[in-house]
Amino acid sequence: MCSHCSCGQPAASVEPTPQHRTLQLRHNLLASNDAAAEHNRQRFAAAGLLVVNVLSAPGSGKTAILEQLARQWLPAPVGVIVGDLATDNDARRLRAAGARAVQIQTGDLCHLEAAMVGRAFDQLDNHGMELLLIENVGNLVCPTAFDLGERLRLAVLSVPEGEDKPLKYPALFKSADAVMINKLDLAEVVDFDRTAALANLAGVAPQAQIFELSARTGAGMGALLHWLSQQRQPMAAA
């Protein structure tokens, strides 16, 4: 009934005053990526694959290292899921080295996400495969937070980038199971301070295995291959 007089008309509807309220939430921004990563991890385990996420700055020699692994991991074929901004150059190089490569063209995206890797894996023939390498987008910041479902994370530091890279990008190096110091054949030319680099890595990433190598000459690749095959053994036995 009208509250102003006794006219008998229905009361005018009054817009309720919007009530400000604060909601307490606890929602992880990476939750949906993490769920997709876990799904990938289960698929990779079911397929008996050792999956390695390889991260570095652009131009540090990721593709060259992967080419060496594809040539030397015998007799099984190596799979590579490669993220590249605009070209398929890396995928073509990797196929020429004998890898089964699937390209994810990332456009402007600065990192790979687990769902993209899952879709790329759908396109990959993994029959007879033991090792699947994921070549992330060249970037030392953005890919760090995104779990792709990998078993191992490898970071590459090439000697022309300088010994202090681990101090500048600690989050990436702290998340790595192994660090490959690449382009050792250039160490003298660029005055690389090996002692300082190793000390920086020991300080920032004490958990990481260190491999010193040159993907161009092939030097030091043996130790990396041996370590990767050791990492696969517990899976093969399971």
In angstroms, rounded to a whole number, what is the distance separating the alpha carbons of residues 200 and 163? 7
Region near other proteins per CB under 8 A, out of 69-77, 82-90, 118-126, 135-143 = 135-143
Of 18, 75, 107, 128, which one interacts with other proteins (CB under 8 A)? 18
Q: How far is the CB of 167 from other proteins (least distance, A)?
A: 6
Which two tokens mark 135?
Answer: 């070549």
**Site for other proteins contains 135 (CB under 8 A):** no
What's the CA gap between 33 and 195, in Å, rounded? 38
Q: Per CB under 8 A, does 23 bind other proteins?
A: yes
Distances (CA, A) of 204 to 60, 167, 175: 19, 7, 10
| Coil, helix or strand at residue 182 | strand
With left for phi above 0 and alpha for psi between -120 and 50, is residue 220 left, alpha or beta?
A: left
Q: Minimum distance between the CB of residue 174 and other proteins, rounded to whole angstroms?
A: 7
Q: Quick one: 103 or 139, whose CB is closer to other proteins?
A: 139
Ramachandran angles phi, psi of 189, nearest 5°: -60, -40
Q: Tell me the HSE value of 77 on the side-chain side, using a 13 A CA sphere.
A: 15
> Is residue 22 a contact point for other proteins (CB under 8 A)?
yes
Shortest spacing between CB 198 and other proteins, in angstroms: 13
- Contacts of residue 232, defined as CB under 8 A and 6 or more positions apart, other chains included, come to 50, 130, 131
Q: Does 3 bind other proteins (CB under 8 A)?
A: no
Residue 54 near other proteins by CB under 8 A: no
Binding residues for other proteins restricted to 143-202, rule: CB under 8 A: 143-146, 166-167, 170-172, 174, 202
Binding site for other proteins (CB under 8 A): 18-30, 32, 109-111, 113, 141-146, 166-167, 170-172, 174, 202-204, 206-207
